[in-house]
Amino acid sequence: QVQLVESGGGLVQPGGSLRLSCVASGSIFSIGGMGWYRQAPGKQRERVAITTSGGVTNYADSVKGRFIISRDNAKNTVYLQMNSLKPEDTAVYYCNTFPRILLSWGQGTQVTVSS
Protein backbone atom coordinates (compact mmCIF):
# COMPACT_ATOMS: atom_id res chain seq x y z
CA GLN A 1 0.00 0.00 0.00
CA VAL A 2 1.12 3.55 -0.67
CA GLN A 3 2.50 5.27 2.41
CA LEU A 4 2.38 9.00 3.11
CA VAL A 5 5.03 11.09 4.88
CA GLU A 6 4.25 14.68 5.82
CA SER A 7 6.86 17.31 6.69
CA GLY A 8 7.44 21.04 6.88
CA GLY A 9 5.57 21.95 10.03
CA GLY A 10 6.93 24.04 12.85
CA LEU A 11 6.41 27.00 15.13
CA VAL A 12 5.57 30.25 13.36
CA GLN A 13 4.32 33.65 14.45
CA PRO A 14 0.88 34.91 13.41
CA GLY A 15 1.07 36.27 9.90
CA GLY A 16 3.90 33.96 8.98
CA SER A 17 4.14 31.26 6.31
CA LEU A 18 4.98 27.59 6.07
CA ARG A 19 5.14 25.11 3.21
CA LEU A 20 4.10 21.55 3.95
CA SER A 21 5.08 18.57 1.83
CA CYS A 22 3.52 15.13 1.55
CA VAL A 23 5.55 12.47 -0.20
CA ALA A 24 3.84 9.27 -1.29
CA SER A 25 5.72 6.00 -1.68
CA GLY A 26 3.76 5.27 -4.86
CA SER A 27 2.19 7.08 -7.76
CA ILE A 28 -0.26 9.80 -6.74
CA PHE A 29 -1.20 10.28 -10.37
CA SER A 30 -2.85 6.87 -10.34
CA ILE A 31 -4.49 7.64 -6.98
CA GLY A 32 -6.36 10.67 -8.25
CA GLY A 33 -7.59 13.31 -5.83
CA MET A 34 -5.40 14.26 -2.89
CA GLY A 35 -6.10 16.48 0.07
CA TRP A 36 -4.68 18.09 3.15
CA TYR A 37 -6.49 17.59 6.43
CA ARG A 38 -5.86 18.88 9.93
CA GLN A 39 -6.77 18.01 13.48
CA ALA A 40 -6.59 20.51 16.31
CA PRO A 41 -6.52 19.39 19.95
CA GLY A 42 -9.96 18.30 21.07
CA LYS A 43 -11.45 18.67 17.61
CA GLN A 44 -12.34 16.33 14.78
CA ARG A 45 -10.13 16.03 11.75
CA GLU A 46 -11.25 18.40 9.00
CA ARG A 47 -10.48 18.75 5.33
CA VAL A 48 -8.47 21.86 4.49
CA ALA A 49 -7.76 21.69 0.77
CA ILE A 50 -8.01 19.26 -2.13
CA THR A 51 -6.60 18.87 -5.60
CA THR A 52 -7.91 16.56 -8.28
CA SER A 53 -5.68 14.64 -10.66
CA GLY A 54 -6.46 17.35 -13.21
CA GLY A 55 -5.32 20.14 -10.91
CA VAL A 56 -8.70 21.49 -9.84
CA THR A 57 -8.48 22.81 -6.29
CA ASN A 58 -10.91 23.58 -3.52
CA TYR A 59 -10.48 25.02 -0.04
CA ALA A 60 -12.24 25.18 3.28
CA ASP A 61 -13.71 28.64 3.86
CA SER A 62 -11.42 29.12 6.86
CA VAL A 63 -8.28 28.98 4.70
CA LYS A 64 -9.53 30.30 1.37
CA GLY A 65 -7.26 33.04 0.06
CA ARG A 66 -4.44 32.09 2.45
CA PHE A 67 -3.53 28.49 1.59
CA ILE A 68 -2.53 27.04 -1.77
CA ILE A 69 -2.47 23.33 -2.55
CA SER A 70 -0.40 21.97 -5.41
CA ARG A 71 0.91 18.65 -6.61
CA ASP A 72 3.88 17.32 -8.53
CA ASN A 73 2.85 13.96 -9.94
CA ALA A 74 6.37 13.24 -11.18
CA LYS A 75 7.67 13.54 -7.61
CA ASN A 76 4.60 11.92 -6.01
CA THR A 77 4.36 14.96 -3.78
CA VAL A 78 1.55 17.24 -2.65
CA TYR A 79 2.29 20.64 -1.17
CA LEU A 80 0.40 23.08 1.01
CA GLN A 81 1.62 26.66 1.01
CA MET A 82 0.21 28.37 4.08
CA ASN A 83 0.32 32.15 4.29
CA SER A 84 -1.04 34.69 6.77
CA LEU A 85 -1.17 32.00 9.41
CA LYS A 86 -3.47 32.46 12.39
CA PRO A 87 -3.42 30.87 15.86
CA GLU A 88 -6.53 28.91 14.89
CA ASP A 89 -4.51 27.17 12.16
CA THR A 90 -2.61 25.34 14.92
CA ALA A 91 -3.09 21.61 14.34
CA VAL A 92 -1.47 18.43 13.12
CA TYR A 93 -1.65 18.42 9.32
CA TYR A 94 -2.08 15.23 7.31
CA CYS A 95 -2.46 14.36 3.66
CA ASN A 96 -4.58 11.60 2.21
CA THR A 97 -6.77 10.81 -0.75
CA PHE A 98 -9.92 12.61 -1.78
CA PRO A 99 -12.89 12.23 -1.91
CA ARG A 100 -12.57 9.00 0.01
CA ILE A 101 -9.83 8.17 2.50
CA LEU A 102 -8.10 5.21 0.89
CA LEU A 103 -4.72 5.14 2.63
CA SER A 104 -3.47 4.77 6.17
CA TRP A 105 -2.85 8.08 7.87
CA GLY A 106 0.77 9.18 8.15
CA GLN A 107 2.28 10.66 11.28
CA GLY A 108 1.32 14.16 10.25
CA THR A 109 3.28 17.35 10.79
CA GLN A 110 2.64 19.74 13.67
CA VAL A 111 1.92 23.38 12.86
CA THR A 112 1.87 25.78 15.78
CA VAL A 113 1.00 29.44 15.25
CA SER A 114 1.86 31.48 18.30
CA SER A 115 3.63 34.66 19.30
pLDDT digits (tens, 9 = 90+) for 69-107: 999 988 999 999 999 999 999 999 999 999 999 999 999
Rounded CA separation 2/6 (Å): 13
pLDDT, residue 31, reads 77
What pLDDT does residue 27 have?
77
Most distant CA pair in the chain: distance in Å? Answer: 41
> Is residue 40 predicted with pLDDT exceeding 80?
yes
The whole-angstrom separation of Cα 108 and Cα 6 is: 5
Mean pLDDT of 37-56: 94
Amino acid 71: pLDDT: 92
Residue 14 has what pLDDT? 98
Whether the pLDDT of residue 30 is over 80: the answer is no
